[in-house]
Amino acid sequence: MQRLDNEAPELVGRAVLEREPEEVEAPPPGAREAIDALEVFEHIRDIQDPEHPYSLEQLGVVSLEGVEVDDAAGRAAVRVVPTVPHCSMATLIGLAIKAKLEQVLPPRFAVKVFIPEGAHSSADQVNKQLGDKERVCAALENPSIVGMVEKSLQPSY
């Protein structure tokens, strides 16, 4: 039996997210609707952890506060905080987030997924892998990695 990196993860409740009434106004005809941090977070919050039957939000791996979006510049950044500093699945989690956002965001967006300094024992290495387009593309062509990413992206309900 495989040993888990974190056998008893601490769970976080699902956040209730609502837009302010002024944020719900439709854009003028012909204009594109702006993408914000809330929209990006809603796309990634239910990604399943590869080791546990919980979402990344439930495990506190991603949060709305960890998402930054600059719609005008076409940039989105997602901070990933693994449940343990030696998480062996950190790169796979980052790949799942990148894959999901590349599926749902317009192609004009550049997506950065990163682990903040001190949150993982190999944060520099993981960030280097996730920031290298060629490495990400190669990983997402590997059938076993693609299978694990697709499994993480499946709805749990």
Q: Which pTM was predicted?
A: 0.85
**pLDDT bucket at 31, cuts 50 / 70 / 90:** confident
Domains of the chain: 34-153 (3.30.300.130)
Confidence check: pLDDT of 3 > 90: no
Q: What is the pLDDT of residue 33?
A: 82
Of the two residues 136 and 33, the one the predictor is more confident about is 136
Task: Report the largest interatomic distance among the alpha carbons of the chain, rounded to a whole angstrom.
Answer: 57
For residues 48-52, give the mean pLDDT: 91
Average pLDDT, the chain: 88
| DSSP assignment of 100-127 | HHHHHS-TT-EEEEE--TTSSTTHHHHH
Q: Which residues are CB-neighbours of 57 under 8 A, at least 6 positions away?
A: 12, 14, 15, 45, 46, 63
Given a cut of 90, whether residue 32 has pLDDT beyond it is: no
